[in-house]
Amino acid sequence: MESAKGFYLMNNKKLSLILILLLVLIFPPQEHIQAQNESPGIDGLIAYIGEDHNVWVRYGDNLEGVQITQDADQNDHYVSPRFSPDGSMLAYCKLVDRRPNNARLYVTRVGDWQPLLIAEKMRCFDWPSKSFDWSPDSSSILYTRPFADNSQSFREQWASYDGIWLAEINSGAVSEFIPPPSINPLINPQWSPDGTWVKLYEFSIKGSRGNLLTGDNQSGTLYSWFGASNIWPGGSDWSPDSTKIVFDEIAYTEFVGAGIYLASPNGENITKIYSNPGQV
């Protein structure tokens, strides 16, 4: 597959929102991972991670689970099982040596359950982190690649980094879908429900989610929402009709009146839909 090298960065200077935002990534407590890894499929089929760190599925009200993977141990754990939108396939990650930066992505067809290795070089975290995302038509997966700190240089933060990559299920081809627009890795891809946009983050500061970017798949334009004003977004998600993005704001220092906002996919038309003036 030809990779979409046509994405180019457009800094949106029309944003008038003057905030300094930062969202600290909070991973779920260990005892909650199993419950939060449940992913509903078709006909009441549920996928989850068992106490043995393997992938399991359960049919409807049947409390007897079916074990999908067999080889998890103290070093290698499975995480983040997610059904394809059409319910015909299940994708999941395998953390080698329990390292999120050393993960493999597998896909298996429902009922067959034979694993197919899709990508070996991957960065993956427990659900609900958007380490990878199914395309709306279930034909491909966008995923995050590993990156590493540069301990040998004060000028360059990353020894290695990548953009967002795409794996095609039928052909097995992998390619860089959105290259890094600058000198930072890209993480947490998420398709819009109609498949015309991709939402992602530029990971530039340790401990943060990073700078929100959106890519128009038709024009190849990549929009940087807050980079021009040094403003950082919080968590975000698509509206069901793909016409809006909802996001919040969190700051390190106390910030009274922080709110929840809606905006167009290109970062324009920002509207505050909720805030409590007396609450941080």
Give the C-alpha distances (Å, rounded to integers) separating 84 from 75, 81, 88. 27, 10, 6
**Cα-Cα-Cα-Cα dihedral sign, residues 135, 138, 139, 142:** positive
**Cα-Cα-Cα-Cα dihedral sign, residues 247, 31, 132, 90:** negative
Instruction: Say if residues 2 and 171 touch (Cβ distance below 8 Å).
Output: no
Tokens (6 digits) for 174 = 């992998």
Reported as a single tens digit per residue, the pLDDT across 217-253 is: 999 999 988 654 445 677 899 999 999 999 887 555 5
pLDDT at 165 over 50: yes
Average pLDDT over residues 123-132: 78
**Which residue has better confidence, 230 or 277?**
277
Q: Which 3 state secondary structure label does DSSP give 158?
A: strand
How far apart CA 65 and CA 252 sit, in angstroms, is 43
CA dihedral (263, 245, 177, 145) in degrees, to 10, reads 120
Instruction: Say if residues 196 and 216 touch (Cβ distance below 8 Å).
Output: yes
Instruction: Say if residues 151 and 157 touch (Cβ distance below 8 Å).
Output: no
Reported as a single tens digit per residue, the pLDDT across 248-267 is: 875 555 554 467 888 999 98
**Which residue has better confidence, 265 or 278?**
265
